[in-house]
Amino acid sequence: MTDWIAAVPDNPRAYDNLAAVRLANSPGRYVEAESLWVRAIAADSSYIPAWTNLSDVAMQQGKEARALALLETALRFKPSAVDAARRYGGVLLKLGRAREAVPHLQRVALADPTEDGLIMLAIAQIESGQPALAIDPLRRAISANPARIDAAANLGMLLARHGSASEAIPLLRAANRMDPDNGAMLSSLALAYARAGRVEDAFGSAL
């Protein structure tokens, strides 16, 4: 692969691929990989994977501010870069800046509605004080993958408080079977039973 780079020194993908190989062969040794991604950017500053890969390394090193700055630069070069926007929203969410993350994750959910992206959007909406808005992306995530118990649990807990109790109950029961010691989930299940008029079941789930 180094011969390929010598033949086409202005090809950013060649540097990117070589960096990935170096990191796969020597996990945790970031210096050479980082230098190759920097060379990829020098060859083509609009090559988004180099920016996002550098941001991943920064996150793994605990340098959240650097990761955020790298992703901001990537998005200035290409505002429509879905992967960069997804990572940017994720970093903001990790930093406790959920309200800022929401518009970026909404754009990602529209452009590439993966289950992970939809769940991330829902979490950002919940953490930014907009729980009712999180119901739709969670429904879509479950529709994409009914096995996502984390989405079912979050949706059930939201519906128990902000939506249909009868819809919340089967979601929470399914999630409870996978995580029987989750107190917040049991509390939500008891609330859903109570709202649905099933008082005995509410008492039973609260015990």
pLDDT the model gives residue 207: 55
Measure the CA dihedral 80/105/140/167, to 10°. -160
pLDDT profile of the chain (207 residues), mean per 10: 54 88 80 90 94 94 95 95 96 96 96 94 96 94 91 91 88 86 85 85 69
Predicted pLDDT at 90: 95
Report d(CA 55, CA 74) in Å as an integer: 10
pLDDT at 32: 86
At 20 the pLDDT is: 87
No. of helices (H) and no. of strands (E), the chain: 13, 0
Torsion angle (degrees, nearest 10) of CA 81, 84, 90, 95: -120
Burial of 194 from C-beta contacts in 10 A (0-12 / 13-18 / 19+): middle
Q: What pLDDT score does 189 carry?
A: 87
Full-model pTM: 0.82
pLDDT at site 186: 85
